[in-house]
Every structure is written in C-alpha cells, then in structure tokens.
Structure 1
Amino acid sequence: MTISHDQMPEQALAWHRQGKGAVIATVVETWGSAPRPIGSQLVISGEAELAGSVSGGCVEGAVVAEALDAIESGKASSMTFGVSDDEAFAVGLACGGQIRVIVEPVGPHVSEDMLADLVAARAARAPVALAVNPDTWERRLVRPDTDDPLCPALMSRARADKSGFEGDWFLGLHNPPLRMVVVGAVHIAQPLLAMARLAGYDPVLVDPRAAFGSEARFPGETILDEWPDAALKAHGLDARTAVVTLTHDPKLDDPAIEVALGAPCFYLGCLGSTRTHAKRVARLQEAGFDEAAIARIHAPVGLDIGAKSPAEIAISIMAEITDRLRKAP
C-alpha cells in the first residue's frame, strides 16, 4: 500500500485497528533550520513499520526503539536530543542543536475515538489541532468556531500553517490539504499541474473543450469537462484552495473568476497582459464587483521573473502562489 506523505493519523488509525499497535511521534521543538518542521510526525506500528519522519535520519532509530517500548508499556514519553555538529551536517544543517519529540501510543494515550474524530475532520477539510500538554499528558481536539480557549490560537496557526506551543499546550495542527483548480487545458497547465503536485497540492483541471482537456494531453490528471462556474461550485473552494485561470477567453475565465471572488480561496491568478486585465476589470465592475474584491486578483499571473516558456511561466505562478500562502496577512 502506498502511504501519502501527510497521512500519518490515517495510517496510525489503520495499524491500530488492524491490531498491530501504533505510536505517533511528533516533533514539538527543534533547532531553527531543521530538516523537518515542528509538527512533523513519524508513525510506528508494533511490527516496526514506519510512515513519515521526525528528522533527516539522525534520531529516527532512537524514536523507533522508544515507540516499540511504548506499545508494550502503554506509556507516553518526551525525548530531547542534542544533535552534534557532525550529525547536523550529515542531515544538511550547518551546525547542531536540539530536537524534542513526544511519543504517544494509540489506545492508552491517544484514544481510538479521538484519532477517528481527527481523521474525520481531516476528511471533511476542517482545520483541527490535537492539543497535548506534555507535562500532564492531557489531550483534546481543538476545532474552529468553538468556545475552547485554544480556538483563537488554532485559527491563527491555521492561517500560518504552523504547529507549536501555546503556553503549556502543544497544538499539532492538521490543516486541510492544499488544492489547486486550473481553468484552461492550455500548454502552461501541463507543467503547472505537475509542479503543483510536487509542491503538495491536489490539482484539478477544468475545461469543457474535450480536444483540450484530454487524457492524452494530461495523462493521470483529474479533468472536469464542465463549464468552469459549475465545476468550481461543485468542487468547492475554501481557504486552502488556489485558483488559476489560463484560457484567455472571457466566456470561460470570467465565470470561474466570479465564483472564486465569492469564495475564501487564498489565491486567484489570471493569465493575460495588463491590457487584457484592464478589460477584465471593466467587465467585473459592470457585473457588480467592487474594488476590494477585484484587488484579490493576481494579474498578470505569476511573479515577474522574466518567464518566457510554459514551464518558466508555471514556475512563476507556483512562486507567486507560495508567496501568497506563506506571507498571507
């Protein structure tokens, strides 16, 4: 079975339900430029099967040994490693530091019901955090729009996509997976979809023109052959979705843009020259969109890096999307 790089809770739940036992190891503190960020997870089964990672390899062995002991004892633990200069260099760091990992067996500590609720929230594309106090080993799920005192921290961290401590509580953030909707099965879309997937997005291509959006031109891609406005409404656009329109045809691009402007997608980029965009703005104003809404559009799409070829333009688009995601106000 292929394990997705971000399906750690799902894998832990599967191993637990298969009777193998499972332990979740989570990075809660680390040095500044770590190979794995805070919140990274390694899941270990009682048969020493592994999914995920908590470092570049310098502490995995010790964490696995601790996890196998935890399956036997049913006890959670916190491990702090001092990484030497030599070890740090081996995993791509300039100098050493420290990394702290908590090791929690499923069942005795993380209950099956709590883990199942976490998996269900992820499937529903709802931001959620597994909060744990490593001093007392209390834990609970923190959900948006509740009276939980950690809820404001959850929403702030969801926007920043960053796990971390809030007082005594560690919030292990589980954001919905990133998605991208590309409208227009043009040449630029071919490298863009591939780059998006490499960057961790789940991309979807929308184009009602069968000759353009064909399996032959886009092998293995998810292609929706509906009109863009219908396709985007059915697909759903949330705060973890980027939308890119590439057709140059107002009949196709404009309906998609209007749907995106009415949704909380974090990025909307539209292909076309400055002159093309000016005409687009006039049409949107006539349709009733105000200045603030239209200002959400990134056009001409992509960072200005002097891109010429379709692949270079795709790079510029991915760069701008990344900039918007990571530097969002």
Structure 2
Amino acid sequence: MELALLGELNAARAARRPATVVTRLDDGAQRLVLDPAGDPLETEIAAARRAGRSRAAGEWFLAVYEPSPRLVVVGAVHIAQTLAPMATAVGLAVTVVDPRTAFAAPERFPGVALRAEWPDMALPALGLDPYTAVAAVTHDPKIDDPALVAALRAGCFYVGALGSRKTHAARRERLRAAGVADAALDRIRSPIGLAIGAAGPEEIAVATLAEIVMALRAPERTP
C-alpha cells in the first residue's frame, strides 16, 4: 500500500469514518473509497460494508475498514447487567452511563466501562456517531430523554428506549415539545427490543441485543 493512501486510511479510521481499499487483483492497483456514492462499485462496496466483511468483487478485492460498533446503555439497571456482557460477547464496545452511583458501581458491572454522570455530561465525551447504538433503560425521563435527543442528533444506528406504548406516547410528546422532529422520533425503538414476548430483565436484554444486531447488519429490515 502506498504511503499516501495508508495515511488517508489511518486518518479515516482515527475519525471513525468507514473506508474501503479497492485493489485490482491482476496488478495490485489500489484506491481508497470513503463515500461509495457514484463509485463504479457502489453496490458491491455498500454490501460489503453492511456485512462488515472484506470480499472479492469480480476483478477487485474490497478491504472493508469499518469503525468498531459501540453500545451505550443509559441506565445501570438489571437489564443492563445482562445486556452489557452479551453485547461485549458479540463484539460491541459497551459503556454504561448512569448518574446514580449506587447503580453505576463496578461490582455490578465487572469489566464494563462506567460513567457515573448525567447523559448531557457523559455523552459528548463519548462522541456518539452512526456506529453507536444507544439503549435508554432507566425509565426516568430526566435521564433517558437527554440521552435520546443526543443519540438522534448524532445519527446513531440504533436508538431504543424502555417503556410501554403509553409511556412512549408521553415521551414523544415531551421530546416533540423540546423541538425534536417527528421523523427523528420515529427512529426510537420503543417498546425496546424485538417483539419476542420477552418477560423479565434477562429476556428483554436478549430482545434488545437482537434488535441492535438487526439494525447494524440488516437495517432495511428494521421497522
């Protein structure tokens, strides 16, 4: 790889931007693709990025460099205690945010990054982006609502919130009054998780992780 191309690739990765190195197999000629729109291999690159895997495409090899997906769980509650290790096991870097220090305690979340801060303080430092999922599970509007607004503004690939349909209807009204557009509100997955009839924190965590993975790998199937 030429030094200039390597420098551009490293800069993209440092900025958490997706990049694809396209190599012609017969002579090794390479180019870097940051935005595939309009590229001759647009469809192939988009498919490779969606799958998160490098692949051959005819006479070309597409080396995919995707930012590592992350999960921010807002609320150090029982659901989070199950969700965090499961999400880590499937390759998500997990951070749990909760200003309540009795909940955001290391002994409750061994090996998990904790931020015992309010979301409006913690989330800007984390740098939410389109490769981040946010699950708000405190059931406390003072904590969940600011996190949801931040996640929507950052274009996070998944935004979910715990609560019944009635609770979510009230949430929509609060966020709409705060200036969030209906199109953005429609992106919030609530009740959180796939509709598998989950009961109890552990099953809700399973349903939530499944919905996050679907949003990451098969976004066209996410309602």
| TM-score, shorter chain, exceeding 0.5 | yes
Higher helix share: 2
The answer to whether the 8 A contact 1:144-1:154 is kept is no
The answer to whether the 8 A contact 1:181-1:241 is kept is yes
Counterpart position of 1:185: 76
Q: Deviations over 1:57-115 (max 9, x none)?
A: xxxxxxxxxxxxxxxxxxxxxxxxxxxxxxxxxxxxxxxxxxxxxxxxxxxxx356655
CA RMSD of aligned residues (A): 2.3
1:283 correspondence with 2:174: yes
The answer to whether the 8 A contact 1:143-1:151 is kept is no
Distance 1:244 1:142 in 2: 31
1:175 correspondence with 2:66: yes
- Displacement of 1:123 in angstroms is 3.2
2:87 to 176, 196, 199: 196
1:270 to 150, 158, 161: 161
1:143 correspondence with 2:143: no
Structure 2 residue matching 1:208: 3-state secondary structure: coil
Structure 2 residue matching 1:216: 3-state secondary structure: helix
- Displacement of 1:122 in angstroms is 2.4
- Aligned-pair identity in percent equals 49
2:184 to 293, 303, 309: 293
Provide closer, same or farther for how the CA distance between residues 233 and 119 of structure 1 changes in structure 2, counting only shifts above 3 A: same
AA aligned opposite 1:328: P
- Displacement of 1:140 in angstroms is 3.0
Unaligned runs of 5+ in 1: 1-109
Distance 1:123 1:172 in 2: 17
The answer to whether the 8 A contact 1:269-1:302 is kept is yes
Distance 2:110 2:213 in 1: 25
Distance 2:124 2:44 in 1: 30
1:311 to 202, 205, 218: 202
Counterpart position of 1:237: 128
Unaligned runs of 5+ in 2: none
- Displacement of 1:305 in angstroms is 1.4
1:215 to 96, 106, 111: 106
Distance 2:85 2:208 in 1: 12
TM-score, normalised with respect to structure 2: 0.88
Distance 1:157 1:310 in 2: 34
Q: How many residues were matched structurally? A: 220
Provide closer, same or farther for how the CA distance between residues 140 and 175 of structure 1 changes in structure 2, counting only shifts above 3 A: same
Counterpart position of 1:83: none
- Displacement of 1:205 in angstroms is 0.6
The answer to whether the 8 A contact 1:142-1:150 is kept is no
The answer to whether the 8 A contact 1:143-1:154 is kept is no
Higher relative contact order (Cα pairs below 8 Å, separated by 6+ residues): 2
- Displacement of 1:158 in angstroms is 2.9
Q: Which has the larger radius of gyration?
A: 1
Structure 2 residue matching 1:180: 3-state secondary structure: strand
Distance 1:191 1:240 in 2: 22
Structure 1 residue matching 2:21: 3-state secondary structure: strand
The answer to whether the 8 A contact 1:206-1:231 is kept is yes
The answer to whether the 8 A contact 1:192-1:315 is kept is yes
1:121 correspondence with 2:12: yes
